[in-house]
Structure 1
Amino acid sequence: MSKDAPPTVDQLVDDLIAREGGFVDHPADRGGATCWGVTEAVARAHGYGGPMALFPRGEAAAIYRRLYWLRPRFDAVASRAPRLAAELFDTGANMGPAVASTFLQRALTALNRNGKDYPDIEPDGRIGEHTLAALDAFLSLRKGSGELVLLRALEALQGERYLRLAEKRPANEAFLYGWLANRIGQEELPNRHRL
């Protein structure tokens, strides 16, 4: 694979797990105990019954592929815009796939020049045929820079949400620096694929 090749889903999952690290049970985290970034509630919902500190990395990887790549259809986005799909995957793993998908839908609608380029999209948090058609139209019209512009729009929405979370719940300030440092600006931070 060339240096400029987009990352595979396996690479995205490996990078995400490396950033998330092993077992954590931070008192300010409403999600409770996590391992490899997977909350105890998600692990239990997928059949894991053991202690979270021993949650297998392979099970975490399988959950990320299934719930945060395939189910939200980020694989369909990857066939069109791999860097955009990588961002959606990371945002979805942190905020939920529906939030990431809604960010994409909002950005595509805001960039359609009042419906001249393609119809508005209902921001329902699901990547369906209307969202994919809008993405295809946008990328066709904005060859070269379109994917980067969408990446910037997603990161802007993500950053605003992080700030709002910290403002609404002061305990979230414990996580704000890490969220901003490790989740936004993928192309500039270490341990992230250069996009």
Structure 2
Amino acid sequence: MDVDSLIEEVIGREGGYSNHPADKGGPTRWGITQNTARAHGFGGDMRHFPRAEAVAIYRRIYWLRPGFERVASHAPRVAAELFDTGVNMGPAIAVSFLQRALNALNRGASDFADVAAGTAIDAATEKALVAFMARRGPSGESVLMKAIEALQGERYLRLAEQRPANEAFLYGWLANRIG
């Protein structure tokens, strides 16, 4: 697992240009919304947004800034899931899923201290992850994945319930983003 492969998978899944009327993100290309492209200096028509710029944004904003490379050395499948979740829901949401799961799986803070909610993988979150993996071994990563995916699925359902237009995306989210 490396970030280049993860980025290629996301771009392959997201496809080229899209402007679905129910998508609040508006025009997108390679999965990058127009607002995100504008925030990173692209001023043109999204139909012409360069793939190389999308790759750079994915690496910088959705991998390095939230600190998912810190997770990858301890739990690569979790890091890949966090990256994909961050692309779809925002990196801060993905980080919160990991932090919530670790806090719920620490047996009342007897295995390791609770971690404070944050928007990036900090030293405390990484320390908790290392302690969790040491305590639970190889099966721990699978359990952690299930907890993160449960949180992700609940959020998708809530988004569809709160905004009926999101029902157009719910099946694809559940089919392609979880598991």
- Percent of aligned positions with the same letter in both sequences? 65
Q: Is it true that 1:174 corresponds to 2:177 in the alignment?
A: no
Query: Take 1:125 and 1:166, find their aligned partners in 2: how far apart are those partners?
Result: 24
What one-letter code is carried by the residue in structure 1 that aligns with 2:110?
K
Instruction: State whether structure 2 residue 23 is matched by structure 1 residue 29.
Output: yes
Q: Find the counterpart in structure 1 of residue 109 from structure 2.
A: 115
Deviates more, 1:101-110 or 1:118-127: 118-127
- Unaligned 5+ segments in structure 2 are none
Equivalent residue of 2:138, what SS? coil
Q: In 1, distance between residues paired with 2:2 and 2:126?
A: 20
Cα drift, residue 126 of structure 1: 2.2
TM-score, normalized by length of structure 1?
0.90
Q: Distance in 2 between matches of 1:55 and 1:22?
A: 9
Which structure's residues are more often helix, by fraction?
2
Q: Deviations over 1:100-142 (max 9, x none)?
A: 0000000000000001001111122321011000000000000
Q: 2:87 aligns with which of 81, 84, 93?
A: 93
Tell me if the contact between 1:16 and 1:90 (Cα under 8 Å) persists in the aligned partners: yes
Q: How far apart in 1 are the matches of 2:140 and 2:161?
A: 32
Q: Distance in 1 between matches of 2:50 and 2:17?
A: 11
Supply the distance in 2 between the matched residues of 1:126 and 1:109 (Cα, whole angstroms). 16
**Unaligned regions of 5+ residues in structure 1, if any?**
1-6, 186-195
Match of 2:99 in 1: 105
Conserved in 1, the CA contact under 8 Å of 2:65 and 2:120?
Answer: no
User: Hey, what's the Cα distance between the residues in 1 that align with 2:35 and 2:171?
Assistant: 25
1:68 to 58, 62, 75: 62
Asked if 1:146 is matched to 2:140, the reply is yes
**CA offset at residue 80 of structure 1?**
1.0
Q: Is the 8 A contact 2:153 2:178 kept in 1?
A: yes
Partner of 2:130: 136
Q: Does 1:81 align with 2:68?
A: no
Name segments (4+ residues, structure 1) moved above 2 Å. none
Residue from 116, 119, 142 that aligns with 1:125? 119
Q: Secondary structure at the match of 1:27?
A: coil
